[in-house]
Amino acid sequence: MNEIRRRRLLLILLLLAAAGVAAALVTLALQQNLTYLHTPSEVHEGKVPMDSRFRLGGVVCEDSLRRTEGSLEARFDITDREGWYEVRHVGILPDLFREGQSVIATGRVVEGRFEADEVLAKHDETYMPREVEQAMRKPKAGAGVGCRQGAQATAGAEPSEDPQPVDAEAEALPSTSES
């Protein structure tokens, strides 16, 4: 093999190795930034890695919104109509957030409660994540089951006593623009 072919072969091998390393780094970075969408039932069944970030999707249970007075802390329950999971969020909730509304919260489980870094509220009547829609199509287990009031006996959960229930409409700020 002459010198020119040897250099070309070496150059091609170095380019292939560099491309392989770049592809591996990109794949690793993407895997670390993925957040999967799960339902409250999947969390209770242990199908979710509790030590990583994920998205919790479902509907905010009626009469579950509790705010801590004097802070931006809000606690509420998310249901997929089979089970529920308590969510704690410190920050401003979206304008479209309300009880009975579909939401997706991003965060992780800390001490048996979902600590949300971000809460997204559905903005359109027709949009719902496929996983949440499929979970909500499943038959209901019984009247009221799926939220804290109906599932308390089966889930064995105690309601938090820190935050007090709040009427979400009473706390809404008046709108300054007419649409």
**Does one domain contain both 79 and 164?**
yes
**Does one domain contain both 16 and 86?**
no
Is residue 151 in some structural domain? yes
- Residue 4, pLDDT > 70, answer yes
Q: H/E/C letters for each residue in 63-87? A: CCCEECCCCCEEEEEEECCCCEEEE
Q: Quickly state the pLDDT bin for 112 (edges 50, 70, 90).
A: confident
> Which amino acid appears at position 49 of this protein?
P
What is the longest distance spanned by two Cα atoms in the chain? 84
The pLDDT mean for the chain works out to 77
Q: How far apart are CA 25 and CA 21, in angstroms?
A: 6
**Does one domain contain both 27 and 43?**
no
**Does one domain contain both 84 and 146?**
yes
> Which residue would you say has higher pLDDT here, 152 or 134?
134
**Does one domain contain both 44 and 126?**
yes
pLDDT (average), residues 26-42: 82
**Does one domain contain both 3 and 44?**
no
- For 34, the token pair is 């993925």
**Does one domain contain both 8 and 64?**
no
Highest mean pLDDT among 21-25, 80-84, 135-139, 152-156: 21-25
**Does one domain contain both 123 and 72?**
yes
CATH code, domain carrying 123? 2.40.50.140
Is residue 175 in some structural domain? no
**Does one domain contain both 57 and 139?**
yes
**Does one domain contain both 90 and 16?**
no
**Does one domain contain both 100 and 13?**
no
Is residue 65 in some structural domain? yes
Provide the pLDDT for residue 133.
73
> Which residue would you say has higher pLDDT here, 61 or 176?
61
Helix, coil or strand: residue 134: helix
> Which residue would you say has higher pLDDT here, 153 or 133?
133
Q: How far apart are CA 59 and CA 72, in angstroms?
A: 21
What total of structural domains would you count in the chain? 2
Is residue 25 in some structural domain? yes
**Does one domain contain both 6 and 55?**
no
Domain hosting 134: range is 37-169
